Structure 1
Amino acid sequence: MSEEVDAIGWNAIDTALENIYGEQQARHYGTSIPYMLGGNDPLDGISVYSAEQPVPHWHYVTYGFSDLYEKESEDETYSGYGFELTMRLAKEPGEDEPPAWCMNLLQNLARYVFKSGNVFHSGDHMDANSPIRLESDTRLTALGFVTDPVLGEIHTPNGMVEFVQVVGITADELQATQMWNTNGLLETLKTYYPLYMTDLERPSILERPEALEAITDGAKREGSSTGILFVEQLDWRGGEEGDEAGIYILTVGAKQAAIVGGLLSGRLPYNRTLTLVSSSCQIVLKPGESNAVEERDGGIDLLLSPETAQEWGFLLQPVAGKIIPPSFPSVIIEIVPTHIKDTDGNIVQTIG
Structure 2
Amino acid sequence: MSEEELNADGWAAIDEALEQLYGEQEQKHYGTAIPYMLGGPDPLNGISVYEVREPLPHWHFITYGFSELYEKESEDPEHSGYGFELTFRLFKSAAEDEPPAWALNLLQNLGRYVFNSGNVFRSGDYMDANGPIALEADTPLTALAFIADPLLPAIDTPNGRVEFIQLAGITNDELLAMQVWNTLGVLAEMKEHLPLYMTDLQRDSLLKLPAIAEAVRLGSESEGSNTGALYVDQLAWENPADDSVHTLQLGAKQAEIVGKLLRGRLLKGRTLTLAGPEISVSFETGDAPGFEIRGELIILKLDEAAGTALSEIFRPSAGLYSLPGWPELAVRIVPTHITDNEGTIVKTIG
Amino acid at match of 1:249: T
Aligned partner letter, 1:233: Q
Pairing 1:226–2:227 present = yes
Give the 3-state SS of the residue equivalent to 1:219 in structure 2: helix
Q: What whole-Å deviation, never above 9, does each CA across 1:136-158 have from its counterpart, x for those lacking one? A: 11111111111111102111111
Q: Aligned residue for 2:9?
A: 8
Kindly provide the CA deviation profile for residues 175-195 of structure 1, in whole angstroms up to 9, marking residues without a partner as x: 111101111122222220111
After TM superposition, list the pairs within 5 Å mapping 1:182-261 onto structure 2: 182-238=183-239, 242=240, 244-261=242-259
* From 301, 304, 307, the counterpart of 1:303: 301
Provide the rounded CA distance (Å) in 1 between the counterparts of 2:29 and 2:241. 61
SS in structure 2 at match of 1:312: helix
What residue number does 1:267 align with? 265
- Listed one character per residue, the Cα deviations across residues 232-254 of structure 1 (whole Å, up to 9, x for unaligned) are 1111112xxx1543321111111
Q: Partners of 1:329 and 1:194 in 2: how far apart?
A: 52
Are 2:333 and 1:335 aligned? yes
Contact 1:340 1:348 in 2 (8 A): yes
Give the 5 Å matches for 1:23-102. Answer: 23-102=24-103
- Could you tell me which residue of structure 2 aligns to residue 149 of structure 1? 150
User: SS of the counterpart of 1:163?
Assistant: strand
SS at match of 1:229: strand
Structure 2 partner of 1:131: 132
Separation in 1, partners of 2:313, 2:3: 61
Aligned partners of 1:198 and 1:69: how far apart in 2?
Answer: 31
Q: How far apart are residue 311 of structure 1 and its match?
A: 2.1
> What residue identity is the alignment partner of 2:89?
R
How far apart in 1 are the matches of 2:343 and 2:128? 17
Taking the aligned partners of 1:3 and 1:312, their CA distance within structure 2 comes to 60
From 281, 284, 287, give the equivalent of 1:286. 284
Equivalent pair of 1:236/1:248 in contact (CA under 8 Å): yes
d(CA) in 2 for partners of 1:154 and 1:33? 28
Q: Work out the CA distance in 2 between the residues paired with 1:348 and 1:243.
A: 37
Q: Is the 8 A contact 1:190 1:197 kept in 2?
A: no
Compute the displacement of 1:133 (Å): 0.4
Match of 1:344 in 2: 342
Is 302-311 or 244-253 further displaced after alignment? 244-253
Deviation, 1:306, is: 1.3
Write the letter of the residue equivalent to 1:198.
T
What TM-score, normalized to structure 1? Answer: 0.97
Please state how far the C-alpha of 1:94 moved relative to its aligned partner: 2.8
Q: Distance in 1 between matches of 2:218 and 2:277?
A: 34
Superposed CA offset, 1:279-328 (max 9, x none): 11111111111111111110310000012112222221110111111132
Q: Which runs of 5+ in 2 are unaligned?
A: none
Aligned residue-pair number:
349
Amino acid at match of 2:344: N
User: Deviation string for 1:77-116 (max 9, x for gaps)?
Assistant: 0001100000000111232211111110000000111111
Structure 1 residue runs of 5 or longer lacking an equivalent are: none
Amino acid at match of 1:30: G
